[in-house]
């Protein structure tokens, strides 16, 4: 997961799920607290187990149901923060059921959707067509945005929602948040200020929780919304590739996950050590995709990681003065 430490938001590579610490104090909010929810697929046809809302020992909010595992934090007046967490837990209570109800449409390329989260997802992926993409490419970011929308309110200075590494954030005027990237060498931190348009961060890659068509260890994207960052990270990670390389193992996505929206498209299951030339070629292909999205205004920046090498563009290739290293 990505975790905020003070005002520094650390983005781990690759993403990890949030780990619930003990002891946990349950929130006095209308969420069904039935213990740990199952880690099953979001596509389960059975009714999902109840949503869990709890405060971690350090005061952050933990929300969990099925595959959704969120850590959120708001900064401001203590009463306002408590009220924000209650709103977030109340909104979270029905999110998974809302998504499950629209799964057939969300797994299709251009089907009509109804719910608020589903509409966020559909809007985020639409600009990336005619390339293949379904609203599911933006699900984690859209869920983070929806929780953040519930959190925002009077008395807060800033807030973020981290949904398994896909992050939505909000900054009041004059506020900032320092984001740390797990990069080997080079820039490892970037400060996002209220005047900066970035409000979403997402990571994708073949080692992540979702299937990928490419070979990137991870791709981290900064965008104006978390849903847009999520969709773009998916597309850029798919573009980081060495087509025809005999050492790459791929298989139809549905043989790995029967409910995958990728269907029979070949998902990456194993990647060999690449030569320097192959690494460079793969990263250039991904960087070209990222730069194309940036020029169209779809993203603000991206960092592409492959076997110890990194390429960056846009807001992640900023002057030294914008980087916080301490």
> For 293-296, which contacts have Cβ atoms below 8 Å and span 24 or more sequence positions?
293/128, 293/232, 293/235, 293/236, 296/127
Length of the chain: 326
Residue 322 lies in a domain: no
- Split into its structural domains, the chain has a count of 1
Interatomic CA distance for residues 63 and 93, integer angstroms: 9
Residue 320 lies in a domain: no
Residue 164 lies in a domain: yes
CATH number at residue 90: 3.10.520.10
Instruction: Tell me which residue range forms the domain holding 190.
Output: 3-315
Interatomic CA distance for residues 299 and 292, integer angstroms: 9
pLDDT digits 0-9 by tens, 186-218: 456 778 899 999 999 999 999 888 899 999 999
Whether 218 and 208 have beta carbons less than 8 Å apart is answered as yes
Per-residue pLDDT of the chain (326 residues; tens, 9 = 90+): 333 322 334 433 333 333 323 233 334 333 332 222 222 233 333 345 689 999 999 999 999 999 999 999 999 999 999 999 999 999 999 999 999 999 999 999 988 999 999 999 999 999 999 999 999 999 999 999 999 999 999 999 999 999 998 999 999 999 998 877 655 444 567 788 999 999 999 999 998 888 999 999 999 999 999 999 999 999 999 999 999 999 999 999 999 988 899 999 999 999 999 999 999 999 999 999 999 999 999 999 999 999 999 999 987 765 433 432 22
Residue 3, beta-bridge partner list? 10
Residue 326 lies in a domain: no
Predicted local distance difference test score (pLDDT) of residue 62? 98
Interatomic CA distance for residues 255 and 264, integer angstroms: 8
Whether 37 and 96 have beta carbons less than 8 Å apart is answered as no
């Amino acid at each position: 997961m990505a975790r905020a430490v003070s005002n520094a938001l650390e983005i781990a590579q690759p993403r990890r799920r949030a780990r619930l610490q003990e002891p946990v104090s349950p929130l006095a909010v209308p969420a069904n607290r039935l213990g740990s929810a199952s880690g099953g697929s979001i596509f389960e046809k059975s009714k999902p187990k109840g949503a869990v809302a709890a405060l971690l020992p350090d005061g952050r909010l933990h929300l969990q149901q099925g595959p959704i595992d969120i850590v959120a934090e708001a900064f401001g007046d203590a009463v306002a923060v408590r009220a924000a967490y209650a709103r977030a837990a109340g909104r979270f209570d029905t999110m998974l059921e809302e998504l499950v109800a629209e799964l057939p449409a969300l797994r299709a390329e251009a089907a009509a959707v109804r719910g608020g989260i589903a509409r966020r997802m559909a809007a985020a992926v639409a600009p990336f067509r005619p390339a293949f993409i379904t609203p599911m490419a933006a699900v984690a970011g859209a869920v983070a945005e929806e929780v953040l929308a519930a959190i925002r309110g009077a008395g807060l200075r800033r807030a973020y929602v981290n949904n398994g590494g896909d992050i939505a954030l909000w900054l009041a005027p004059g506020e900032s948040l320092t984001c740390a990237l797990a990069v080997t060498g080079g820039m490892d931190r970037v400060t996002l200020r209220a005047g900066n348009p970035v409000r979403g961060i997402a990571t994708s890659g073949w080692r992540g929780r979702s299937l990928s068509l490419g070979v990137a260890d991870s791709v981290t994207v900064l965008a104006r919304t978390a849903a847009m960052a999520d969709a773009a990270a998916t597309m850029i990670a798919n573009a980081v590739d060495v087509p025809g390389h005999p050492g790459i193992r791929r298989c139809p996505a549905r043989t790995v996950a029967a409910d995958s929206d990728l269907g029979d498209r070949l998902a990456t299951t194993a990647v060999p050590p690449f030569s320097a030339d192959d690494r460079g070629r793969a990263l250039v292909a991904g960087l070209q995709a990222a730069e194309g999205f940036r020029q169209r205004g779809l993203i603000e920046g991206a960092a592409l990681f492959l076997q110890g090498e990194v390429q960056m563009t846009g807001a992640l290739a900023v002057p030294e003065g914008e980087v916080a290293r301490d």
